[in-house]
Amino acid sequence: MKKTILILSVLLFSLPLFADEASDVWTCSSAADCSDGMDCGNENTCVMNKSKFTDYIAITLFIGENSPNTRGTGSAKRIFIQNPANDLVLGQVDVSASGGQDGKLYIIKDMTADITIYPSSKISCENFRLIYDKNGNGNADPGEPTVSEGSFENNTVKYRFNQKEASYPVNAKSNFLMIASCSANDAVTDENTKISATVRDSYITAVGTGGNATHAQIQPLTFPTYTFEPESGYFLFTAGRFFPKAPSWSEMNKTQEIMHIRAKAIDSANEIKTVGVALNGTAVSFGNGVESIALYLDSNNDGKGDKLISEITEFPEPFQTANLIIPAGSLQFTQGEEKHLVISATLNFYNGQTTYFYIGKTNVVLTTNKQVAGPTIQTDTFTYKCDETEPNCNLKPDENNDNESSGCALVFVE
């Protein structure tokens, strides 16, 4: 009788994970060999404890909030990397799961990504890994587990989850980093190489006790395109890692960091003489909406300006391009040296003004003539639009009534 009760208990409260996929069975000698919430069953295979897992699950994939982005790279939409590029974060995948009760678990069996590599005859990528980004910060931090070592074939990488790292909570999001090491086997002479990843919603297999998860129908997740920086003939001037977003209108009218820049003298010493920052917008110019512009050295690459290099605070008349003249010796580069820069601007927009800031190839002047790789560097659009009844809404100058007379007035009577 006791034996019959035990068998029924196993049938009721634990379910085989891969009953129809013998090749994917997770073997075990104890529950410690299995993922969280699973038991080691009678046949030495990992099984889901029904009391700990959800019966149904719906999965939606998103690009993670801290995934690498091409903000600031203008129409090129490329991130420059060195050759070789080890531990390159191809993208952060946000797996959002809903279903059942809070506190329940579900299993992720595998995930797939399409990888674009061009030219494939020159570039090779290996050591594909999927890391559980537990704190969601976009970095592979110490202690965050590798959940899968990907198998790469025919421009596709398949991540089969480790049997100890497959359980995740429902009604929550879990972030994963796709990481690889890539290199070019010949010297890179231009900026046309390409590495990128794409993940579709159906590219993930997840299960609850009731079977496979359902998937939302959304657009494919297209992650940034990486390109190897040229190894000769160029000076690199491109968007930095901490390129800022445009602020909301209520936070706009003050001194803002508007650009983060990575600059590098690739194959010979050089020096930056001038950096021109231009505007493209509606009724905005330097001297009308933009009160000052400044260039700083970011000495520790944290996205904050540390040392002022050049600044313009007065504009005799409004104009569209501000040329920041760099004092001699202030931005010198030895061969292969890299520096990071921050551009800030003091803004005073009124309602209806909108613009973006940009730096084109011809806006960077060097002492030694080199092609400039990287521009156009371009910000988000800065849009100042507010309800005129808002107390802090800055109206057009002719709409302000501050100069109109009010109150008492002197009347002269003869």
Q: Nearest to residue 193, comparing CAs of 89, 123, 145?
A: 123
What would the two tokens of residue 153 be? Answer: 């074939």
What would the two tokens of residue 69 be? Answer: 């982005």
Determine the pLDDT at residue 17: 58
Instruction: Report whether 393 contacts 359 (CB < 8 A).
Output: no
Determine the pLDDT at residue 117: 97
Instruction: Report whether 265 contacts 358 (CB < 8 A).
Output: no
Task: Quote the strand ranges of 223-304, DSSP E.
Answer: 225-228, 234-239, 255-265, 270-282, 285-286, 289-297
d(C-alpha 336, C-alpha 137), whole Å: 30
d(C-alpha 307, C-alpha 295), whole Å: 9
Instruction: Report whether 335 contacts 235 (CB < 8 A).
Output: no
CA torsion sign for 16, 17, 20, 21 is negative
Ordered domains of the chain (ranges, CATH): 2-49 (no CATH), 58-228 (2.60.40), 234-396 (2.60.40)
Q: Is 251 helix (H, G, I), strand (E, B) or coil?
A: helix
Determine the pLDDT at residue 218: 80
Determine the pLDDT at residue 397: 85
Mean pLDDT for each consecutive 10-residue tract of the chain (414 residues)? 42 49 76 97 94 95 96 92 96 95 95 96 96 97 97 96 97 98 92 94 93 88 96 96 96 97 97 98 94 98 97 93 97 98 98 96 96 94 95 82 43 40
Beta-sheet pairing, 123-132 with 172-184: antiparallel
Determine the pLDDT at residue 403: 43
Beta-sheet pairing, 234-239 with 371-373: parallel
What would the two tokens of residue 275 be? Answer: 């950096």
C-alpha distances out from residue 21 to 33, 276, 331, Å? 19, 61, 61
C-alpha distances out from residue 380 to 71, 258, 357, 364, Å? 8, 9, 8, 20
d(C-alpha 282, C-alpha 275), whole Å: 23
Q: Which residues touch 232 (CB under 8 Å, ≥6 apart)?
A: 187, 189, 266, 267
